Chain A
């Protein structure tokens, strides 16, 4: 900084300002849409970036991981049962002598797909129905909420078994089985938020200014519940992963000899006394993925928060 006030002010120092209306309106900051701005903020958030990289790594391993070892995920081997991790079997072997590295990443394919698909679909349905119930209110709310009560109280096992009878086992069936009841939690959450937001000042203002219901819901309410929706979504992924293990258990889920994270963890917990690593490896892999997902979700929430702009 070498600037200091000159001793005398002379007119040469000044330039006449042009009274240009356009220039006056010009913005120095580049014009960004809501989403561009969110993306910039997300990129600047180091934790969120690291989390995103971790999630991408996990997806990559799911894609190529099983091919990195010379063992098939389904080949049993009586000569190496319950072997702890070593040079040949990086994650050890299971009770049937199958390579756990191959099984973990084969399982990742199924679990990540199911987890994300189920969580996303649940959130979408939940937002629509919850938003509708909360915003319209009155009889609509009452009827929708009571239907939800009935659906939610039906034992899930019954629903799952009935679906198993009707559907062929497969990815779509698993996702359907999770979606059929899974949206309820999100719907209740969104409804509660919309009920609270409905009478907020800015909504009242928008309404008085003649905004349509559609505009109020999608421009004002949803962005303000987005934080909760994202949190709910990131929490729904692990829930779906473990629900899959339950579905596999009653025959609707992953078919033998396929694996999934939920199944690996479930079997690991059972066989914990014999081979603790069979529990720890899937548990750690799941936890790291979920941690990344949640931290990324937090970053996304911050990036999307209109108040922090």
Chain B
């Protein structure tokens, strides 16, 4: 690690203080890890959480029944578990673990947390994550009021049982989601509204504890000596600065103030060339959603061939090279290729290249011709569409690149409409658009998280597109207990979606970051918390 003399001094001081604090222990140099985060952390109440940055902190200061690391499910608060043959009942056996105030972690904590998550009075945004649990949805909607009816029960202090409505073979990984992390009844009842508003108004059972939290400024995590597996925690102190300006974060990194930084897209090519940049998928899958409802003014939107003309006119490789310097990569199908299949990645088991990386202008114009003949339009110049995007520099650049490609290839009018993020949600929700830049980040590591949102009764699907066969395939996949058969059904559904083209796939987002030499073991998952330093180490 490159350390300026000043920082070295600071570390020495911290080490000195720490050694006084742990009176008796030999004065060792604290192993520190510092990085910057460019997003808001809206809160740390596990059940109320709604954002990935919160989740990053939460998975390090709290631990759920299991811990997911690098895509693998490891035991967490539960030492072991059994799954019933029909895949509907999960029984977890808890280990002897302690909260940071010394009290034991029990199955009742998990029972309380799940009931709290589903309680409509909590108003948890992620309550839908527990709708698969027996009576979860009914309780959250206020249809039933007895929490004992929820299929999540503590059988005794050390045994916790979850009963599902339908099999969810991805459930274990799902439990890493922040809303499933435990919170403790007595603490919440004592702190009431002030729960989790400062570092000392919470209890922790994770590898670290939160020592300091200044809203939108800095968070300091310290190794939790009471954590059940604390010997394997290699960091003594983690400092997280909230820095919004990417160039500033980069300057802090280059001046040695921080150990890890995200690289902005416009600089990605430069750092990639030096070999310093590390990249990984964020899980976000972006596409153009088309409003396919009958529209007398723009009848072409409802035409499948017109939509395919757009899709084939986009040169994904070139568009991403110029708009994101190659940081985002083309998506030639719908589902994120990296999600889990049965044994390997989904795309390895179910390969599909529906579109090509390069545009196919011939094909695009042929589709356009078919559509124009069907609609009796003689001049492509009479066709206009408006593409709704939100007010981010990145979105603007990408839209301008698309606009130029599509107008040049098809000769139609392609307008871009910029609105605020909240207005985009509003307009997208009310189906007040022709085309909208949309996307999805996965909640769990399974193709279902992507495929299910195109069901005809799903609130996210505002395109007006609905397909009976598609709906049936998704529904039967939910009932299917055999993993491979389940994925077969989802693959069929994916193909229907692409063939019908209510959406035009664009790209898979990636993030680029770099760490100072000596920092090892950082994992950037694409589901849930996007940063995992639980097993990270730094050189002394």
Contacts and interface: CB of A to CB of B under 8 A. Distances in A.
A contacts B: CB pair < 8 Å: yes
Nearest to B416: A256
A251 B417 CA distance: 7
Interface of A: 74-76, 78, 81, 95-97, 161, 164-165, 169, 248-251, 255-257, 267, 270-274
Nearest to B404: A76
Nearest to A251: B418
A93 to B, nearest CB: 10
B276 interface: no
9 contacts: A78-B321, A81-B325, A95-B325, A248-B418, A256-B416, A257-B416, A270-B247, A272-B247, A273-B250
B169 interface: no
A268 to B, nearest CB: 11
Contacts of B323: 95-96
Contacts of B270: 273-274
A251 B267 contact: no
Contacts of A270: 247, 264, 266, 393
A78 B404 contact: no
A270 B419 CA distance: 21
Contact of B322 (A81, A248, A272): A81
Contacts of A271: 266
Contacts of A257: 400, 403-404, 416
A22 to B, nearest CB: 71
Interface string B303-332: 000000000000000100111010000000
A214 B353 CA distance: 78
Interface of B: 247, 250, 264, 266-267, 270, 318, 321-323, 325, 391, 393, 396-397, 399-401, 403-405, 415-420, 423
B267 A274 contact: yes
B416 A255 contact: yes
Contacts, number: 73
Contacts of A273: 247, 250, 267, 270
A256 B419 contact: no
A74 B393 CA distance: 16
Residue among B397, B403, B404 with max Cβ neighbours from chain A (10 Å): B404
Contacts of A74: 400, 403-404
A176 B404 CA distance: 30
A96 B247 contact: no
Chain B binding surface SS class: helix
Contacts of B417: 169, 251, 255
Contacts of A165: 423
Give 10 nearest A-B pairs by CB, closest first: A251-B418, A256-B416, A76-B404, A78-B318, A256-B400, A257-B400, A251-B419, A96-B322, A250-B391, A271-B266
B404 A75 contact: yes
A168 to B, nearest CB: 10
Contacts of B396: 256
Nearest to B398: A96
Contacts of B416: 255-257
Contacts of A164: 419-420
A256 B419 CA distance: 12
Given A95-B325, A96-B404, A256-B416, 10 more contacts: A74-B400, A74-B403, A74-B404, A76-B401, A76-B405, A81-B322, A95-B266, A96-B400, A256-B400, A274-B267
A97 B322 contact: yes
A275 B417 CA distance: 28
A161 B400 contact: no
Given A257-B404, A273-B247, A274-B267, A95 B423 contact: no
Contacts of B250: 273
Contact of B401 (A96, A249, A255): A96
Contacts of A78: 318, 321-322
Nearest to A253: B418
A249 B423 CA distance: 14
Contact of A256 (B321, B399, B420): B399
A251 B388 CA distance: 11
Contacts of A169: 417
B266 A274 contact: yes
Given A96-B397, A257-B400, A250 B420 contact: yes
Nearest to A75: B404
Given A250-B420, A257-B403, A273-B247, A95 B267 contact: no
Contact of A76 (B266, B322, B391, B418): B322
Nearest to A76: B404
A74 B250 CA distance: 31
A238 B420 CA distance: 25
A74 to B, nearest CB: 6
A96 B396 CA distance: 11
A169 B418 CA distance: 10
Contacts of B405: 76
Contacts of B247: 270, 272-273
Nearest to B422: A161
Contacts of A97: 322
B418 A161 contact: no
B393 A267 contact: yes
B164 to A, nearest CB: 44
Contacts of A249: 391, 393
Contact of A251 (B266, B325, B391, B404): B391
A248 B418 CA distance: 8
A78 B404 CA distance: 12
Contacts of A75: 404
Contacts of A95: 266, 322-323, 325, 397
A267 B419 CA distance: 18
A215 to B, nearest CB: 49
Contacts of B423: 161, 165, 251
Residue among A97, A251, A256 with max Cβ neighbours from chain B (10 Å): A256
A130 B416 CA distance: 40
Nearest to B269: A274
A68 B423 CA distance: 40
A251 B420 contact: yes
A218 to B, nearest CB: 44
Contacts of B393: 249, 267, 270
